[in-house]
Structure 1
Amino acid sequence: MHTSIDELFAGLWQDYVSITPSAHAIHHLLSEKTGNKVIVNDHIALRTFNHPKVELGVLAKHFETLGYEAKGEYDFKAKKLNAKHFEHKDLTKPKVFISELKVEELSNNAQQVIEKIVLQISADATSTDTFLYSGRHWQVSSTEYQNLLEESEYAAWLAAWGFRANHFTVSVNHLKNVRNLQEVNQLLKEAGYTLNTAGGEIKGGRDVCLAQSSTMADKASVDFSDQSLDIPSCFYEFAERFPLANGEIYQGFVAASADKIFESTHTS
């Protein structure tokens, strides 16, 4: 396990930008427009299967050993997902959102593909320092990917990309010279980025103490066992947080908004 939070996030970030080049470009754009030398990361998100070998708790352990604690639980019935978010008592550290697919709710065919995938992960792989950004531990064919895609975009993405940050998130609250998420979205659109419009360009808002938007995922090449395909990789999210009645900034997530953010990896 990593000895420091910063080391872990640095590893996750390097892996993420390797298949999400737009993240570097967006950093540059925001630094230029806002004067922020440092772009603060609000949270990352990770995906997994609810198989005992790699279920949510297995991924969470990497953060819990560094002082993170589980805070909120979420259920995405239509997408067949459970999720939890984790926070560190030092709130300058990014939050972590981990979701897992309820494999038993998919068809027998899909379950068999996922079982075959998970069986290829070595027993000690999940406890290594780099597991959370180790990518794919298995061979999977483009046909198996397409079959999963018909049932669950989430399952197909995970089968293709493996373990890595699905997205990082710019904290709009920490940006200078922009007043709100709407202004950030405007900058992105003017620069030619496509935003995820599922459920509206901005999901949530002041009434739920969290407003979120995201780009549509970059495309990158994946080597399947039979051929290479360009498919959606990862995306960049933007979050603006608002105070609760007690004046403290809300640190949680909003299930209805997160449900639509998942669609940032859909083929646009």
Structure 2
Amino acid sequence: MSKDQLLTKLWEQYVEITPSALKIHELLEDKGEEIKNDHIAIRTFNDKRVNIEVLEKPFLNVGYEAKGEYHFETKKLFAKHYEHATDKDAPRIFISELELEKCSADLQNTVENLLNSCDQNAFNNPELVLSGSVWNGNSQAVYKSLLEESEYAAWMYVYGFRANHFTINTNALKGFKTLEELNNFLESSGWELNSSGGKIKGTPEQLLEQSSTLADLYDIDFEEGTLKVPSCYYEFALRYPMSNGELYQGFVASSADKIFESTDVKLQKAL
């Protein structure tokens, strides 16, 4: 699979459960904007069968290289980001994993049982990152028990391996000079933004500003009945030049920590 095929498949899966992203994409295109993608984020567990080293493979195979590493102590996450070696317009890839050993025994057992229940050959699939939920994630009780401890784990239980969010490169937009202008336009068009830690996360001094919509609510048919579960969100990033004049390419952990909360059920209920 080529780089463009991989990225296109990730986008197609993403908009299938995140219709708001496609609507925002079209809204900006109608204003004459050409949308460029800053980065794509993917979630996983740090179990050796599905950890970052497994999910990075298809990206390494199409020319991506590992760059920065990030730790999120409160959410018990570790992440790495990747940049394409030759295509500077290719989106960065951001892969995070839940550090299971830092979680409760109950959560660890639940995740281990999930992974053990799968056809183990599924984890050797070179397209695992596109496979969604390879386990039977249809128990509302399991979902809610995971949610009590880790929204991240609960999201993984339902949605599995797929893009968690795409990100508009705000620097490439012609009609918006600041992220605040873009946010105001989106809100005036009826979109709710993630306000955790402020609607804009990061500062010019940190060389990166980020904002995001709240995740769409998607109907999941559990065995106990249908429940609306936050799916994915659309992010917006504005990068600032470093001392050498080149735009900063990495991420700010404190900002990403709040962006993760765009899929948080509690944030949805606060509206």
State how 1:156-171 maps to structure 2 within 5 Å. Answer: 156-171=154-169
SS at structure 1 position matched to 2:185: helix
- 1:105 deviation in Å? 1.4
State how 1:142-157 maps to structure 2 within 5 Å. Answer: 142-157=140-155
The residue type paired with residue 70 of structure 2 is Y
Alpha-carbon distance in structure 1 between the residues aligned to 2:113 and 2:221: 18
Alpha-carbon distance in structure 2 between the residues aligned to 1:122 and 1:68: 29
5+ long unaligned stretches in structure 1: none
Alpha-carbon distance in structure 1 between the residues aligned to 2:124 and 2:180: 41
2:58 and 2:127 in contact (8 A); partners too: no
- TM-score of the superposition, structure 2-length normalised? 0.95
2:165 and 2:232 in contact (8 A); partners too: yes
- 1:31 deviation in Å? 1.3
Percent identity at matched positions?
A: 52
Partner of 1:133: 130
Partner of 1:5: 3
221-230 or 80-89, larger mean C-alpha shift: 221-230
Match of 2:80 among 84, 98, 101: 84
2:41 and 2:95 in contact (8 A); partners too: yes
Partner of 1:181: 179
5+ long unaligned stretches in structure 2: none
Pairing 1:45–2:28 present: no
Pairing 1:124–2:114 present: no
SS at structure 1 position matched to 2:120: coil
Match of 1:236 among 229, 234, 237: 234
- 1:130 deviation in Å? 3.3
Partner of 1:26: 24
1:185-242 superposed Cα distances (whole Å, 9 cap, x missing partner): 0111001111001111000121011100000000101233443311100000000011
55-64 or 113-122, larger mean C-alpha shift: 113-122
Pairing 1:59–2:55 present: yes
1:212 and 1:257 in contact (8 A); partners too: yes
The residue type paired with residue 231 of structure 1 is V
Q: What's the RMSD between the two structures over aligned residues?
A: 1.1
Alpha-carbon distance in structure 2 between the residues aligned to 1:178 and 1:31: 13
The residue type paired with residue 217 of structure 1 is A
Alpha-carbon distance in structure 1 between the residues aligned to 2:4 and 2:124: 18
Alpha-carbon distance in structure 2 between the residues aligned to 1:248 and 1:124: 43
1:71 and 1:85 in contact (8 A); partners too: yes
Alpha-carbon distance in structure 2 between the residues aligned to 1:121 and 1:243: 46
- 1:129 deviation in Å? 4.6
- TM-score of the superposition, structure 1-length normalised? 0.96
- 1:133 deviation in Å? 2.0
SS at structure 1 position matched to 2:82: strand
